[in-house]
Amino acid sequence: MSTTTDPDTRPDGFRLGMLINDTRYRSYTFQFIALVLLILGLGYLISNLLDNLARAGLNISWAFLGEPAGYDINQRPIEYTSQSTHARASMVGAINTLIVAFLACISATVIGVVAGVLRLSNNWIVSKLMSVYVEAFRNVPVLIWILIIFLAMSNALPQPRTFRGDDATSSMLFDAIAVTNRGVYIPSFVNGAGSLIFWIVVIASIVGVFWYRKYAKKVLYATGRMLPTFLPSLGILIVPGLLAYFILGRPVTLEYPELSGFNFKGGIHLRLSLIALWFALAIYTGAFIAENVRAGIQAVSKGQTEAAGALGLRPGRIMNLVILPQALRVIIPPLISQYLNITKNSSLAIAVGYMDITGTLGGITLNQTGRAIEAILLLMLFYLVVSLSISAIMNVYNNRMKLQER
């Protein structure tokens, strides 16, 4: 057998066959072929879809968004009537989704961190209780929890009419909070003249507390002198607000819920659907976050605890100053996933009649207009944008918390 041509004798030569035979190009060839096939396949499916839709007389149109919705929504964070457009109804739904997702994310984090830390407690009862909590809530679908909480509350809590009359069987907590099977009514703020100044003072004093704590830390690091933090913080937080409140002549008053007609009126109405959804999402996801927190803490070497203990730190401080900051690096990435899960799971709202965007745009609007494809596309876009935004924000936080390599 004679030898074949050596590629090196023609370094600049490029033959078509090299696309298959030469390892330098072969992978590109196959990737290119796969890409073309993928595009063709997708194009075929999409053109098929449009073709069949057109044949069935269903054309993509967004005109329905401008038409009057015709239905009412109970929880309206922005102004809305049944004469508003479908677009407006979708927006109300979107804000409702964000409200419940935000509330659930915050509460799930608090529940999760507490449960995760307590699960590692040396106290046998506490750690076993937390194990039971985590296993019970993690292993039952969240939809079941939403329904259980909703049905339990609607059946167990008193009806508004039991608050009425002289022989009322129920009464309000502190004469301010009414817990009924239609939701919880709490007092709301009524802003009078000069209330703007009062709120500015309140916000400024909160900022002031942070500023003072930062200053105290700076003094500590520079001079080693420890300034008292608790009492001054409390003073900065309360005194200016109180002074402003009385100097301005009590500009902000509370409006209490009152029974009138069929329901309580006035104050803020936290609907049963919101509470059930919020609570279910928070405890369900809290169980997952507890496991993340436990994993994060256990990922920090035990030597850290012992070293901190040897320096004379109290157990609470060891956790807050040494363990948790390091554990956060492990906790944050899975925490992002949990936040995304909460946002997406909030679409189960329809099970309890909470009017989130799946209930308005993907529910009633879709049903009344029959524009299924358009509505679902918009829904997908909404959840995609919200989820990507949460990811982006949490990634920024993650980058700030991760190990700084110099």
Partner 1 sequence: MKKTVLFGALTVAGLAAAGAQAATLDDVQARGKLNCGVTTGVPGFGEPDANGVWQGFDVAVCRAVAAAVLGDPMAVEFVPTTGKTRFTALAAGEIDMLARNTTWTFSRDVDLKFEFVGVNYYDGQGFMVPKALGVNSAKELDGATVCIQTGTTTELNLADFFRSNNISYEPVPIETGSEAVQLFTAGSCDVYTTDASALAAQRANFANPGDYVVLPEIVSKEPLGPLVRHGDNEWGDIVRWTLNALITAEELGVTSDNIDELASAPGSNPEVNRLLGTEGTLGEMLGLSADFAKNAISAGGNYGEIFANNIGESTNIGLARGLNAQWTEGGLIYSPPFR
Q: What are phi and psi of 209, to 5 degrees?
A: -60, -45
Provide the minimum distance between the beta carbon of 376 and partner 1 in the complex, in angstroms, as a whole number. 7
Provide the minimum distance between the beta carbon of 269 and partner 1 in the complex, in angstroms, as a whole number. 8
Provide the minimum distance between the beta carbon of 60 and partner 1 in the complex, in angstroms, as a whole number. 11
Provide the minimum distance between the beta carbon of 388 and partner 1 in the complex, in angstroms, as a whole number. 21
Token output for 284: 């369900």
Provide the minimum distance between the beta carbon of 189 and partner 1 in the complex, in angstroms, as a whole number. 22
Q: Which is nearer to partner 1, 150 or 284 (CB)?
A: 150
Provide the minimum distance between the beta carbon of 271 and partner 1 in the complex, in angstroms, as a whole number. 8
Q: Which is nearer to partner 1, 29 or 81 (CB)?
A: 81
Provide the minimum distance between the beta carbon of 176 and partner 1 in the complex, in angstroms, as a whole number. 21
Q: Which is nearer to partner 1, 137 or 163 (CB)?
A: 163
Q: Which is nearer to partner 1, 287 or 355 (CB)?
A: 355
| Contact residues: partner 1, CB under 8 A | 44-45, 48-49, 51-53, 55-58, 70-74, 81-83, 151, 154-155, 159, 161, 181-182, 260-263, 265, 272-273, 350-351, 353, 355, 359, 363-364, 366-370, 372-373, 376
Rg (CA), the chain: 30
Q: Which is nearer to partner 1, 154 or 347 (CB)?
A: 154
Q: Which is nearer to partner 1, 368 or 391 (CB)?
A: 368
Q: Which is nearer to partner 1, 234 or 380 (CB)?
A: 380
